[in-house]
Amino acid sequence: MMTPFLAAAPVYGLPSYLLVSALLFAIGFFGVLLRKNTLVIYMCLELMLLASTLALVAFSKFNGTLDGNVFVFFVLTIAAAEVAVGLAIIVALFRQRHTVQVEELNQLKH
């Protein structure tokens, strides 16, 4: 059964949240595969992690267990660590090569 999209006081069920989460995940996934700019790829990776986080919170709410909410903090911490290391690598690479486009970062091919 479809929930009316613009009802006065909409109560969205679990499937709505999962749909949004799956969409975000798919956007992130295809962004990583198709985009050419390293920074945009990086944003897409974060989008994938956050899509998982949204699903986690939704499941946590509808399952009635708090563990999912707690796990979100772990995921956010890990994402922050990943960003710190990743941006450092991108900046170091930009200093050497003066580009962040993936098609120009291809010296490791024989």
Interface residue list for another protein (CB under 8 A):
18, 25, 28-29, 32, 38, 41-42, 45, 48-49, 51-52, 55-56, 58-59, 63-65, 67-68, 70-71, 74-75, 78, 81-82, 85-86, 89-90, 92-93, 96-97, 105, 107-110
Neighbours of 42 (CB within 10 A): 19
* Closest distance of CB 7 from another protein, Å: 25
Nearer to another protein, 1 or 109 (CB): 109
- What is the nearest approach in angstroms of another protein to the Cβ of residue 50? 9
What does the DSSP assignment read for 38-80? Answer: HHHHHHHHHHHHHHHHHHHHHHHHHHT-SHHHHHHHHHHHHHH
Q: Is the dihedral of CA 45, 51, 53, 56 positive or negative?
A: negative
